[in-house]
């Protein structure tokens, strides 16, 4: 069965629900994972999604900040929410699809919004950056981030780190910029290697080709300058490595009216 999963930091789902609807109608992913929904669960636009054919929704919302959601066309069997660094700041939600979705073997999805980390890349003077580094350390040690050999798992989200030199517009210029500092890249890469995860984007778009999923609001000529970063990721466990078909970064969405600064990233695989 072909399965499409999209990750997208929407930067307020209520503000951009029309853009989400536009994307859904064009792409029809089986699962849409959103970050920074910026609303409590009760304020989430459930009715709009159900009219679009997405009746199964797992939420971990928060008023005005953060928040993640998994939106699906098929029912899931279980939902999980995990807190990190002793905080309840709505940065994770996970679901498992099984018999209810017509799958013989379970498929688990974990949706993350890793802390951005502020502007100053020094944990001694910037508590936001210290929080980010601690979050990445806990992520590496989390049991569901260490899947067993035959476990079918997917990790998606705004991981807020561009780990490779070709994941940013200028490696040397960004070495001291939060999201591409060596310590962040090392910690995210350590989490990926600990779980033996496959980076789907770099399976299809090989190094050293550049690939971005985020362009700053501060750049009015973002498309011409193309000073982007790859902050949004899809990883799959080894059990799904031979099931991958393609990945698509919807760069055109950055040029829509009142867009998010992130664009949707969609992976297709056989499950």
CA–CA separation, 51 vs 58, rounded Å?
Answer: 17
Q: Are 67 and 92 a contacting pair, CB within 8 Å? A: no
Beta strand pairing call for 244-249 and 265-270: antiparallel
> For 231-258, what is each residue's pLDDT tens digit?
999 999 999 999 999 999 999 999 999 9
- pLDDT confidence band for 96 (50 / 70 / 90): very high
Q: Looking at residue 74, what DSSP letter applies?
A: S
- Answer whether residue 44 shows pLDDT above 90: yes
Q: 238 Cβ partners below 8 Å, 6+ apart?
A: 147, 149, 196, 198
Domain hosting 100: range is 2-270
pLDDT score of 121 more than 90: yes
pLDDT above 90 coverage of the chain, percent? 99
CATH number for the domain including 43?
Answer: 3.60.10.10
**Burial profile 7-37: b = 16 or more Cβ within 10 angstroms, e = fewer:** bbbbbebeebbebbeebbeeeebbbbbbbbb
pTM here? 0.98
Rg (CA), the chain: 17
- pLDDT above 70: percentage of residues in the chain: 100
Number of domains the chain is built from: 1
pLDDT of 13 reads 98
Residue 105 in this model has a pLDDT that exceeds 90: yes
Q: CA torsion 52→58→60→65, rounded to 10°?
A: -20
Q: Which long-range contacts link 47-52 to residues 24+ away (Cβ below 8 Å)?
A: 48/17, 48/21, 52/21, 52/24, 52/25
Cα distance between residue 17 and residue 127, in whole Å: 32
Give pLDDT tens digits for 65-93: 999 999 999 999 999 999 999 999 999 99
Please provide the average confidence, as pLDDT, over all residues in the chain.
Answer: 98
User: What pLDDT does residue 220 have?
Assistant: 85
């Amino acid at each position: 069965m072909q399965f499409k999963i999209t990750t997208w930091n929407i930067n307020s789902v209520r503000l951009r629900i029309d853009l989400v609807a536009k994307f859904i109608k064009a792409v029809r992913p089986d699962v849409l994972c959103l970050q920074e929904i910026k609303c409590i669960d009760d304020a989430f636009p459930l009715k709009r999604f159900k009219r679009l054919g997405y009746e199964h929704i797992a939420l971990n919302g928060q008023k005005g900040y953060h928040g993640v959601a998994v939106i699906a066309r098929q029912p899931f069997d279980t939902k999980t929410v995990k807190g990190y660094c002793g905080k309840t700041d709505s940065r994770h939600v996970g679901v498992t699809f099984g018999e209810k979705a017509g799958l013989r073997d379970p498929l688990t999805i974990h949706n993350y919004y890793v802390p951005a980390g502020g502007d100053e890349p020094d944990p001694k003077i910037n508590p936001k950056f210290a929080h980010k580094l601690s979050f990445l350390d806990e992520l590496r040690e989390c049991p569901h981030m260490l899947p067993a050999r035959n476990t079918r798992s997917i990790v998606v989200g705004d991981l807020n780190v561009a780990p490779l030199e070709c994941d940013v517009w200028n490696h040397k210029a960004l070495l001291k910029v939060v999201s591409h500092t060596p310590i962040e890249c090392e910690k995210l890469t350590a989490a990926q290697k600990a779980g033996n995860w496959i980076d789907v984007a770099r399976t299809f778009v090989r190094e050293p080709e550049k690939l971005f999923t985020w362009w700053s609001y501060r750049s009015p000529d973002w498309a011409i300058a193309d000073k982007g970063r790859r902050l949004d990721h899809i990883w799959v466990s080894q059990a799904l490595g031979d099931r991958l078909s393609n990945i698509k970064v919807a760069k055109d969405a950055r040029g829509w009216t009142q867009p998010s600064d992130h664009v949707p990233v969609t992976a297709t695989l056989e499950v």
